[in-house]
Amino acid sequence: MALDSAFLDELRQRVTLVSLIGRSNKLVRSGRNWKTCCPFHGEKTPSFYIYEDHFHCFGCGVHGDAISYVMQSEGLSFRDAVERLAHEAGLEMPREDPRAEEKARQVASLEEIMQHVQAFYRRNLGERQGEAARHYLQKRGLTAETITRFGLGWSGDGRSLTEALKPHDITPEQLAQLGLLRCDEQGAIRGELFFNRLMFPIHDRKGRLISFGGRILGEGQPKYVNGPETVLFSKKRTLFNLHHAAEAVRKGAELVVVEGYMDVIALDQAGFRGAVAPLGTALGEEQLALLWRQAKAPIICLDGDIAGQKAALRSCELALPLISPERTLRFCRLGNGDDPDSLVQRDGAQAFDALLQSSRPLVEELFSLMVAGKAQAGPEERAVIRKRLVELAHQIPDRALAGEYRSTLLDLFFSYFRNHRSGRISWQGSRKDPVWTGESKAMFPGTVQQPRMIAEGASERLKVLMALLIAHPEILPQIEQSFYQLTLSEPLAHYRSVFLEWASQTGTTSPFSCQNWMKEHGLGELTCELLEHYLPQSARNRPVGKEAAREEKKEEKEDLFFVGVAEMWWHFYGLVNFPAFKEEVERAVREAILKSYERPLDESSGNATFPPEVKAKMQALKALQQGEN
């Protein structure tokens, strides 16, 4: 029985050749790919190369995919090899169906029909009726070689396709099955889908012609029309030009996602052969999977307008639950009014290459999009942004990577809003990106400001700060910004990273949980040293460890104790860096006063009531100014 081609494609997509062949062969990295000594003939120098979707031995010439590898290496039949791989990939084998073979023959027949249709469209382009389309392509700067490479054509007036294909025994019903003829609700054929349009053939990743897209010339809507879903074509599982781009990426080209057909074709002609495009919709999960099969970090290149920003944010949010240390995205943004085609036409290929070289990581793009237009955000709006950034980081399934994203996003958050509040931001160029002026380096919201410098001889105080946090991690939300900005040497720098990872992963403030986490990560000895030798005696009046996880106190006592521990932390922080701490307190007081207009006054004092965390800072500053140790 013939197996469904869609099932086989899904199987090949799920089984990675590197893991399959690497089980019994020692693989060596070779650029973007892998190589090993050929398992099918004896050799001492590796000539067996493994790519994303196939292998090839330059010694004996053996070539194939995952299925043929299992067949040849284990002597299995085609069906047995498929069954074995399907079991490993968690796929259920298709049931025995006598109609499957007929369906396979039907699909092969439809693929052949598509070739006849493309030939018809291409002939039209070369005839008198295609003159306007040829003029348009010439105006867009496309060469005859490029037009041939992409198989561009002209649909005609929409009344001749059926007649033209009759000599090949192609029926209207078959054309309707391929989505080339429109049908009404009763199934009656109403005419051709494409008329008076420039035609773009659409291929799957193996290069099989599966559909068409058409662009109208002159006035009319919609400007672009894609073929409907058929037995050959699924829009969400297809990227325009992927069959050409995959080959180019294997040879070292960047994989770049742009918005439309003409962008892809213009870039290909300019030498950027790794360009692809979705088909009139935003990127979906299955399209991201197609991209990651070709490259670990494809570049998403979008227009710089509002629509481009929204598309970039959708891509970021879609990718977060799917990324891992082995696969991510990069982003580059064009200026307003530009697209890749216009940029290359005006400024040359070098300008687009420079744009690709300046592409930035997903984490920076995400942060930039989240704070766009919010430089003057108030405390409430900043709190919302910060909460959202943390929530987005938690969507990443890999716990270590999620912790790194959370740390980086919060670093960017603190840096960005501190710089805006200090009034030291200027705007340069057309990108509308914030840039540091004065003695600091250029800064985009995505580049972390240099952390605060610590006075010499402060290592003991830094250990006290760390000990207070380990014993009382509930104060972290109030001191987090300053804690992030401290410059720490090893081993405290590593200790802080592990501590912040615990805070981002567990969502608890239990000292017992925290200390266990540090022990599990090889930091138990340092934890004991910090708590035994650097935790102030006055911070020990509440049990730490397992007892703290069980103890319950009244809310009023908790608040008093919280202020005391937080004040103690700020006191030592001020001893480490008094000028920075004084500025921090003044800013916190200003913000609390502004916010107090929305709260009732304290009747006993007539003054605005300050939050406990601000009180703690004020008390610590007062003590330092009075010379208390």
CATH number at residue 123: 3.90.980.10
Verify cis geometry, omega within 30 degrees of 0, for the bond prior to 222.
Answer: yes
The pLDDT assigned to 440 comes to 30
Beta bridge partners of 197: 216
Mean local confidence (pLDDT), 64-81:
88
User: Is the pLDDT confidence value at 545 over 50?
Assistant: no
Report if residue 555 sits inside a domain.
Answer: yes
Mean local confidence (pLDDT), 289-313:
87
Enclosing domain of residue 40: 5-89
Alpha-carbon distance of 118 to 127, in angstroms, equals: 15
Report if residue 477 sits inside a domain.
Answer: yes
User: Is the pLDDT confidence value at 259 over 50?
Assistant: yes
The pLDDT assigned to 104 comes to 62
487 and 585 together in one domain: yes
User: Is the pLDDT confidence value at 39 over 70?
Assistant: yes
18 and 133 together in one domain: no
463 and 497 together in one domain: yes
Q: Do residues 199 and 121 make contact, with C-beta atoms less than 8 angstroms apart?
A: yes
Report if residue 245 sits inside a domain.
Answer: no
135 and 27 together in one domain: no
Query: Rounded to 5 degrees, what angle do the CA atoms 275, 276, 281 make?
Result: 145
Exposed e or buried b per residue across 20-45, where buried means at least 16 C-beta atoms within 10 angstroms of its C-beta: bbeeebebeeeeeebbbbbbeeeeee
Please provide the average confidence, as pLDDT, over all residues in the chain. 81
pTM of full prediction above 0.75: no
Q: Which of 123-127, 223-227, 532-536 has the lowest mean pLDDT?
A: 532-536
Mean local confidence (pLDDT), 145-165:
93
Most confident range (mean pLDDT) of 59-73, 116-130, 180-194, 459-473 is 116-130
Q: Do residues 220 and 181 make contact, with C-beta atoms less than 8 angstroms apart?
A: no
Task: Give the torsion through C-alpha atoms of 37, 40, 42, 47, to 10 deg.
Answer: -30
Mean local confidence (pLDDT), 249-268:
93
The pLDDT assigned to 534 comes to 87
pLDDT band for 443, please (50, 70, 90 cuts).
Answer: very low
pLDDT band for 227, please (50, 70, 90 cuts).
Answer: very high
CA distances from 238 to 202, 255, 286, 553 (A): 9, 15, 8, 59
522 and 500 together in one domain: yes
User: Is the pLDDT confidence value at 353 over 90?
Assistant: yes
Mean local confidence (pLDDT), 268-278:
96
Report if residue 302 sits inside a domain.
Answer: no
169 and 57 together in one domain: no
User: Is the pLDDT confidence value at 454 over 80?
Assistant: no
In the chain, the number of structural domains is 3
540 and 598 together in one domain: yes
Mean local confidence (pLDDT), 281-297:
88
CA-nearest of 141, 127, 132 to 198 is 132
Of the residues 233, 251, 267, which one is the last residue of a structural domain?
Answer: 233
Q: Do residues 434 and 522 make contact, with C-beta atoms less than 8 angstroms apart?
A: no
Q: Is the model more confident about 596 or about 421?
A: 596
Alpha-carbon distance of 172 to 176, in angstroms, equals: 6
Q: Is the model more confident about 143 or about 621?
A: 143
CA-nearest of 259, 185, 258, 213 to 121 is 213
28 and 153 together in one domain: no
Structure-block tokens of residue 171: 């029926």
How many H-runs (helices) and E-runs (strands) does the chain carry?
A: 27, 18
79 and 141 together in one domain: no
The pLDDT assigned to 360 comes to 93
Mean local confidence (pLDDT), 334-360:
89
84 and 17 together in one domain: yes
* Residue with tokens 């509040």, as numbered in its chain: 421
The pLDDT assigned to 602 comes to 47
User: Is the pLDDT confidence value at 239 over 90?
Assistant: yes
The pLDDT assigned to 96 comes to 62
pLDDT band for 435, please (50, 70, 90 cuts).
Answer: very low
496 and 549 together in one domain: yes
Mean local confidence (pLDDT), 410-438:
52
Q: Which of 67-81, 82-96, 565-579 has the lowest mean pLDDT?
A: 565-579
Neighbours of 446 (CB within 10 A): 20
566 and 591 together in one domain: yes
Structure letter (DSSP) for residue 17:
H
Q: Which of 171-175, 265-269, 298-302, 572-576 has the lowest mean pLDDT?
A: 572-576
